[in-house]
A and B are shown apart, each in its own frame.
Chain A
Amino acid sequence: MSVNFIEVRSLRKTYGTTVAVDDVSLTLEEGRTAAIIGSSGCGKSTFLRCLNLLETPTEGSMRIGGDTVTFANDKMASGEDQALRFRKSMAMVFQSFDLFPHMTALRNVSLAPTIVNGLKREEAEGLALKLLERVDLRHKADAYPGQLSGGQAQRVAIARALAMNPRVLLFDEATSALDPELVGEVLAVIKDLAKEGRTLLVVTHELAFARDVADTLYFFDQGRVLESGKPQELMSNPQTERLRAFLKRFQGPLNS
């Protein structure tokens, strides 16, 4: 058994008296996919944002590869010098795409490699074209986000994340803002990435997708991990009433 690549221990995030993430621990091996499910407001997005350091956790520790950051009292307690490398080892795809509206698809993908990783403009654009090809959008390289459909925009966002050459990809409800008929094209890209052996952490409402793609499934409820394990087992044999109720509500999509 290989050693865990991602290891989160006792992560907590509170806003005043509200507990958003409560004592969450999670592990993931390199090349594997974990899916996080749960109803709205269960803390799964906050957890992902904490992992990407978009939110500062209240307490707990997180390790990716050899970089560890720990938190106490809403501050980073150790790992300050590793924080940038920690964040750099992952890239996030957001629910609202958040492409840069004043830049072409090509520039959206090549900007960060140029200014953060120091690639020459031609190199970065070559990389961007390759990645746009990868998500089947090379012909849209010169289009602005406003000219793309939601599905296309999200695929550009995936290319933008891949351009940073991350070791982990985080998806924060990447298909929730899409029209139903556009969900498939984005899920297909994510599925391919999983098959390629990328390490993925996917927060999603698409249960069928989670079942087919994830190696491990985490069920969040009220900020806690209520159940975790193999998707098939979890879904066919839920141990808690909460998960049973949750699955029942999503019965439709599961059978599709």
Chain B
Amino acid sequence: MSYEFDWSAVWDPSAWMTAIGVTVAYGVATTVAGLLLGLILGLLLVSRIWIARRAVSLFIGVFRCTPALIQIVWFYYAFPMALNINMPAWLAAGCGLTLYMAAFSAEIFRGGIQSIEKGQWNACRSLCMSHWQTMYHVILPQTFRRMTPAIVNQSIIQFKNTSLLSVVAVHDIMFTASALTSETYRPLEVFTFAALLYIILIWPMASIAHQVERRFDYRSSR
């Protein structure tokens, strides 16, 4: 007995186009917002304000050690309830994922900042540069270059994690695939197609990032 493929089951261009738009929007927005927040948290982690370090460590502990799926569901249902505010559903859905990204990228930035040789700080202090001038002109530019692979990696994970948003009825690629499956009973074709879409979206981003990384690698520029 062999399976008869029926690729007509996936034929729904308008639904897929919308889904791609939603996935890309959430992927880009939660990644960028998560990275920015992560950078701020990472800077607090290496700051001299101990209470900030403690608070951020606690935040990272909580968000790294709970599944992204629970965070999404919790922010969607419980967070607006807990604060007794009316949050638009699209925002509530993205919040959990953004904070998840922030927690992981904060650790990446902290590690990156601390990996920069101590001599760089000494040289800057000797030249009378302030803490923030040193951070901005000398430490962070090197951190970004050094941590690019880790940041790209985490961003790819984040992009794929947007599929979890389908559980709170965000009409992304994953949601559309599930819906189409229950319509057509053709999971093999539909999910294969969905997987292909993710690959087509993410692969080019990863290779562009790799090229940017190589261009900025001043260490091998001899």
Contacts and interface: CB of A to CB of B under 8 A. Distances in A.
Contact of A115 (B125, B129, B145, B221): B129
Contact of B138 (A87, A88, A100): A100
Given A98-B120, A144-B218, A54 B126 contact: yes
Interface stretch (A66-74, A89-97, A185-193): A89-97
Interface in B87-134: 117, 119-120, 122-123, 125-129, 133
B51 to A, nearest CB: 22
Contacts of A102: 141-142, 145, 218
B126 A52 contact: yes
A112 B142 contact: no
A116 interface: yes
A180 B133 CA distance: 36
Contacts of A98: 117, 119-120, 122-123
B137 A115 contact: yes
**Which size bracket describes the interface of A in this complex?**
20 to 34
B127 A112 contact: yes
B117 A164 contact: no
Contacts of B126: 52, 54, 87, 91-92, 94, 161
B18 to A, nearest CB: 42
Contacts of B141: 102
B113 to A, nearest CB: 14
B219 interface: yes
A147 B125 contact: no
B222 interface: yes
A203 B221 CA distance: 33
Given A96-B119, A98-B117, A98-B123, A116 B128 contact: yes
Interface residues of B, number: 21
Given A96-B119, A98-B117, A98-B120, A91 B127 contact: yes
Contacts of A92: 122, 126
A160 B138 contact: no
Nearest to A147: B222
B128 A88 contact: yes
Contacts of A101: 142, 218-219
Contacts of B120: 98, 100
A82 to B, nearest CB: 13
Nearest to B122: A54
Contact of A112 (B119, B128, B220): B128
A101 B117 CA distance: 11
Contact of B133 (A94, A100, A115): A115
Contact of A94 (B119, B218, B220): B119
A111 interface: yes
Nearest to A164: B127
Contacts of A99: 123
Contacts of A91: 126-127
B214 to A, nearest CB: 14
Interface of B: 117, 119-120, 122-123, 125-129, 133, 137-138, 141-142, 145, 218-222
Interface of A: 52-54, 84, 87-88, 91-92, 94, 96, 98-102, 111-112, 115-116, 144, 146-147, 160-161, 164
**Minimum-distance CB pairs A-B, first 9:** A98-B119, A112-B127, A98-B123, A92-B126, A144-B218, A116-B128, A147-B222, A102-B141, A96-B119
21 contacts: A54-B122, A87-B126, A92-B122, A94-B122, A96-B119, A98-B117, A98-B120, A100-B123, A100-B137, A101-B218, A102-B141, A102-B145, A111-B127, A116-B128, A116-B129, A116-B133, A144-B221, A146-B220, A146-B221, A160-B127, A164-B127
